[in-house]
């Protein structure tokens, strides 16, 4: 029945109907006129260039929002009953991920894979985290390896961070 109705409607000549110009009242008109126009799109970098791809992923994931501009961590997030401080993810051997192998890095994320299927364990304020481990645990190895390569290419910043201060 719907096919027949569509066929019938498509057989009718189009109707020309002049419509009045749309008038949007202030302040909405000002908001619309002042909104930025799209600047275009940024092409995804070549995945074969591991460093560029890692930089792209770190930028798109917003890692510097929590781990600070230099990736040295230390940004405090206060919640009722919990204080979380972002970790140093620079290649500093003492305070960052400098001693981590690529496999250590991958394993840190992949240890959360089971939680995606079976649910997270019950945790208290002492183990609260803002890091989206579950989301990253599902990312392909190619992406996490590129992130690791990019992080390891950054300047090491010696910045001891207590990630769960009392």
Who contacts 26 (Cβ-Cβ below 8 Å, separation ≥6)?
none
pLDDT recorded at residue 164: 57
pLDDT recorded at residue 163: 62
What's the whole-model pTM score? 0.72
How far, in whole angstroms, is CA 160 from its chain's centroid?
25
Query: Is 1 a residue whose pLDDT tops 80?
Result: no
How far apart are alpha carbons 127 and 149 in whole angstroms? 28
Question: Which of 62, 75, 71 lies closest to 157, judged by CA?
Answer: 71
Which range, 20-34, 70-84, 143-157, has the best average confidence (pLDDT)? Answer: 143-157
Question: Which of 66, 72, 99 lies closest to 160, judged by CA?
Answer: 72
């Amino acid at each position: 029945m719907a096919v027949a109705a569509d066929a019938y409607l498509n057989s009718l000549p189009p109707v020309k109907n002049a419509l009045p110009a749309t008038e949007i009242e202030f302040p909405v008109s000002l908001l619309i006129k002042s909104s930025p126009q799209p600047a275009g799109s940024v092409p995804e970098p070549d995945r074969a260039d591991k460093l560029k791809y890692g930089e792209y992923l770190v930028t798109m994931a917003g890692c510097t929002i929590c781990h600070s501009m230099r990736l040295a961590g230390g940004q405090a997030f206060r919640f009722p009953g919990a204080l979380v401080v972002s970790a140093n993810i620079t290649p500093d051997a003492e305070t960052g991920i400098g001693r981590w192998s690529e496999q250590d890095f991958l394993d840190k994320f992949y240890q959360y894979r089971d939680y995606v299927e079976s649910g997270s364990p019950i945790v208290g304020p002492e183990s609260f985290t803002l890091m989206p481990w579950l989301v990253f645990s599902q990312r392909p190895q190619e992406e996490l390896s590129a992130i690791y390569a990019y992080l390891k290419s950054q300047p090491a910043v010696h910045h001891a961070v207590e990630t769960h201060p009392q």
